[in-house]
Amino acid sequence: MKWNVSTRGMVFCIIFFIAGAGVCSVISEGNDSEYDRISMTNQGERRAIMVTGFWNPTGQMIASFSTDTSLNPEGWKGENWEDLGYDIYSFFPTPGSYKGNFEVDYQDTWDDFWAITAEVLPVAIVSFGAGDGPWEIEYNARNLAYWVNDDTPPYQPTPCPPDDSVPAGFFRHATLPVQRIADAVNDQTDLDAWVDYEGAPGAYLCEYIAYLGMWYQGIHNTTDGVFPCRAAGFIHVNAGVSVEDAKEATEITLRETIAHLKEMNLPPNMPQIDGPTSGNAGESHTYTMSAVEPDGEEVSYYIEWFEGCPGVSWEGPYVSGEEITRDYTWDEEGTYMIRVKAKDQWGAESDWATLEVTMPRTKEPTRFSRFLQKYPVLFNLFNLYQDWM
């Protein structure tokens, strides 16, 4: 009798432990509190906009976006500029001496442009140069075989024409929201902003860097690119425009460009779900999910394990296309629908992906269950405990 009592106590503890452990049927890798929300403010998760200038006031008006303390001693303000989700980086020669990045020299400009874009990987390029203005947004740029000489031998660009993928004289066009920028600058400032749809930027350094930017955008605007460039263009600013007015118009230009980029943002593709479509209730089943973001941005996932059961939260972010693995146990027989969707850092959401799963039977009796069946009292106790739970 003593043996039976102690055995029953031990069995009841085991039953209680099993029942308590059964409360947690989901094994969700990486579902810690750090994934309760998506952070869009950490440097490295944002795309960059590259801004360039040449002559005054175009270098002075973009100086606050420079990380070079000699050009911008007050400190870089481009990080997550105005909380709009983009980092702004500016590059220009030292005002007055015009030495440094983008000197008035074709070879220097060529070398600087390709080195900087390789580092910044810009989603947009906005270039400025001095001209008639007052805020003249150039729509065209040409792949010229002859340019106005610069001040340094060999005087002409090398290579020349710069773009050997198209004929000399080939036109590329701005992909900035040119009319939108002009309208906004006109509405919010006293400057005369306009789009030059017919002319060209002048066959000198301004048109040269305008063409480089439009060319870069053309060859990096692919749907499968990891860091696509969505917009590029060039603006001529009159030398008589004050630095303060030029700064205001620059910021308006950037805001309109960012709004345009966000409107262009494509949602992630519908996720793929891979895993068993049938199995045993009470057993753990493993599934992998993945979604591709067309712009190469990171994605987060929302997972529902059966219809009407909301997910815990958005999980992520993860690299675009990266497979994530999740385990789930359905305790009851039946047919269930797994639903998964993805979203990017801007909140654009994919369509729901679904996978129907059928749990036709419970798992086979365990050794412990067969042991209980040999002892009717324990077996009845176990059943009473299950009914009570």
- 72-117, pLDDT tens digit by residue? 999 999 999 999 989 999 999 998 888 989 999 999 999 999 999 9
Q: Which domain holds residue 227?
A: 47-264
With respect to residue 42, please indicate whether it lies within any of the assigned structural domains: no
What residues contact 376, with CB distance under 8 A and at least 6 apart? none
CATH number at residue 11: 2.60.40.10
User: Which of 264, 287, 307 delimits the end of a domain?
Assistant: 264
- Asked whether residue 260 falls in the same domain as residue 272, the answer is no
- Asked whether residue 218 falls in the same domain as residue 288, the answer is no
- Asked whether residue 177 falls in the same domain as residue 69, the answer is yes
- Asked whether residue 211 falls in the same domain as residue 348, the answer is no
- Asked whether residue 61 falls in the same domain as residue 154, the answer is yes
With respect to residue 248, please indicate whether it lies within any of the assigned structural domains: yes
Is residue 378 pLDDT above 50, yes or no? Answer: yes
- Percent residues over pLDDT 90 in the chain: 65
The reported pTM is 0.65
User: Into how many domains does the chain fold?
Assistant: 2
- Asked whether residue 172 falls in the same domain as residue 127, the answer is yes
Instruction: State the pLDDT at residue 240.
Output: 94
- Asked whether residue 226 falls in the same domain as residue 312, the answer is no
pLDDT digits (tens, 9 = 90+) for 295-342: 777 899 999 987 666 666 789 899 999 999 999 999 888 999 999 999
- Asked whether residue 239 falls in the same domain as residue 223, the answer is yes
pLDDT digits (tens, 9 = 90+) for 71-83: 999 999 999 999 9
